[in-house]
Amino acid sequence: MTEKIKKEFFINYIIYYLNMVSKKNNIFKEYLNSEISIFKDESVFYPDYFPENIVSRDKQISDLQFFLKPLLSKKKANNLLIFGPSGTGKTLISKFVLNQLCEFSNNIKYIYINTIQDNTRFAIIQKIVSFYKVILPRRGLAIDEVWDRLVESFKKSDFYPVIILDEIDNLKKDDCSKLLYDLSRFSYNSKFFTLILITNNKFFINYLDLRTQSSLFLTDLEFPKYTPSDLKNILLERINFGLIENAISTDLIGFVTGFAAKNSGDARIAIDLVYKASKFSEKNGFLKISKDILISCSSLVDSVKLLEKFKTLNDNEKRFFLSLKDQSDSSLAHITENIPSRSARRYLEKLDKLNLISLKDNKNGKGNSRIIIINVNRDILDF
């Protein structure tokens, strides 16, 4: 064996030995070997989880199925306005029924668009174009050019498109009116866009221009808030799939459902509270959730919704929002004194639209002075 080969062999052996020692002493290996989890399947508590069983929404499923049935006969279906409080299954049921419909018929396809993320007419039309597998050039295109690409793709396609526009009231009035008017009016060879508009506020349509309201010809579908019994059934399904046996008592399940029922019947609040309490319990070495832990976690139930909204802000908007929690003087004049007025107005308008803040008249101030109120728990802004 030559000296060169000996040297290479020695170096490789040292590397192998160090790797083995590193793996043997790795702190995460010991952690995994010693860990007993409170979860059977943590993913059932994630926001994007799709449950195997849809609970307490048989009527809405049946209604949506009926309204979309004409598409199976290649006929026009009415556009739909789905409304109700947050966390009542509007998005879940819409996706569930559309998945079933598209699975049943190859002639129907749908696209889901959240207008908090795609919050302009231009962005939404681009998203619909991408739905048709069209690659747009890197150079900037005018919105009319993008619309022409959409029309061209629509004419060449062999399916009936359904467009779900979630949080539709988030769009600016002019953008929303123009977008919905164009989509609802367009047709080719007896083929149309079918629109499903999802909102917490059924009256948002009244703010659109009259020709758009008339053109949409909407059918309403209401999702009322869940009852305590509904919330309990939804929660039990997640707990049975997601947690080990006896991780939470029957009494505490009742506590969670009551808490969620008082908060607009929002199922996401109930699910999020159990998830947070489970993570906190596991972190502290417990395999059972206590009432003290639940009460402690209940003050932070807004964090998931906050993070969803926070992701839609750009860096400047995020810095502006986070700066608000440290302000001792919450008056509008004080907070915006070091920011260009145009930028400040734009930031405040978006934060108010997302319900992260509210602007209230200051009764103790002079003239038209206003104050900024943060609508989330300040403790969860330290992330």
pLDDT bucket at 278, cuts 50 / 70 / 90: very high
Selected residue with higher pLDDT from 89 and 369:
89
User: Hey, which residues does 218 pair with through a beta bridge?
Assistant: 79
User: What local confidence, expressed as pLDDT, does residue 383 receive?
Assistant: 46
User: What local confidence, expressed as pLDDT, does residue 193 receive?
Assistant: 96
**180-238 pLDDT, tens per residue?**
999 999 999 989 999 999 998 888 888 889 999 999 999 999 999 999 999 999 999 99
- Segment 304-320 mean pLDDT: 73
Q: Rounded CA gap, 271 and 231, in Å?
A: 9
DSSP letters spanning 34-76:
H---SBS-GGGGSTT---SS--S-HHHHHHHHHHHGGGGGT-P
User: What local confidence, expressed as pLDDT, does residue 137 receive?
Assistant: 78
**27-62 pLDDT, tens per residue?**
555 555 556 899 999 999 998 898 888 888 999 999
- Segment 260-281 mean pLDDT: 89
**Residue 167 and residue 117 in contact, taking contact as beta carbons nearer than 8 Å:** no
- Segment 236-253 mean pLDDT: 94
pLDDT bucket at 96, cuts 50 / 70 / 90: very high
User: What local confidence, expressed as pLDDT, does residue 374 receive?
Assistant: 78
Helices (H), the chain: 3-25, 27-34, 58-68, 90-104, 121-131, 143-156, 173-185, 210-216, 228-242, 250-262, 267-283, 291-298, 303-310, 315-323, 332-335, 341-353
Q: Rounded CA gap, 108 and 104, in Å?
A: 9
User: What local confidence, expressed as pLDDT, does residue 329 receive?
Assistant: 55
pLDDT bucket at 351, cuts 50 / 70 / 90: confident
The percent of residues above 90 in pLDDT, for the chain, comes to: 51
The CA-based angle 252-257-258, given to 5 degrees, is 95
Q: Give me the phi and psi of 266, to 5 degrees please.
A: -85, 110
CA trace torsion 349, 303, 117, 354 (10° rounding) = -20
pLDDT bucket at 10, cuts 50 / 70 / 90: low
- Which residue bears the tokens 């083929």? 191
Instruction: Quote the pTM value.
Output: 0.74
- How far is Cα of residue 8 from the mean position of the Cα atoms in its chain? 55
**Residue 192 and residue 76 in contact, taking contact as beta carbons nearer than 8 Å:** yes
User: What local confidence, expressed as pLDDT, does residue 207 receive?
Assistant: 85
Q: Rounded CA gap, 28 and 30, in Å?
A: 5
User: Hey, which residues does 166 pair with through a beta bridge?
Assistant: 114
User: Whole-number mean pLDDT of the chain?
Assistant: 84
| Helix or strand run (H / E) with residue 361 | strand 357-361
pLDDT score of 364 more than 90: no
Q: Rounded CA gap, 20 and 24, in Å?
A: 6
**Residue 80 and residue 221 in contact, taking contact as beta carbons nearer than 8 Å:** yes
Tokens of 246: 């006896």
Q: What is the largest CA-CA distance in the chain?
A: 93
pLDDT score of 347 more than 60: yes
pLDDT bucket at 284, cuts 50 / 70 / 90: confident
Residue 228: closest CA among 188, 192, 199, 269: 269
User: What local confidence, expressed as pLDDT, does residue 382 receive?
Assistant: 54
Q: Among 75-84, 216-225, 263-272, whose mean pLDDT is lowest?
A: 263-272
Selected residue with higher pLDDT from 364 and 279:
279
User: Hey, which residues does 334 pair with through a beta bridge?
Assistant: none
Specify the amino acid at residue 235: L
Q: Rounded CA gap, 61 and 64, in Å?
A: 5
User: What local confidence, expressed as pLDDT, does residue 327 receive?
Assistant: 64
CA trace torsion 93, 53, 223, 226 (10° rounding) = -150
Tokens of 294: 């639940």
| Helix or strand run (H / E) with residue 222 | strand 218-222
- Segment 82-88 mean pLDDT: 91
The percent of residues above 70 in pLDDT, for the chain, comes to: 81
- How far is Cα of residue 286 from the mean position of the Cα atoms in its chain? 30
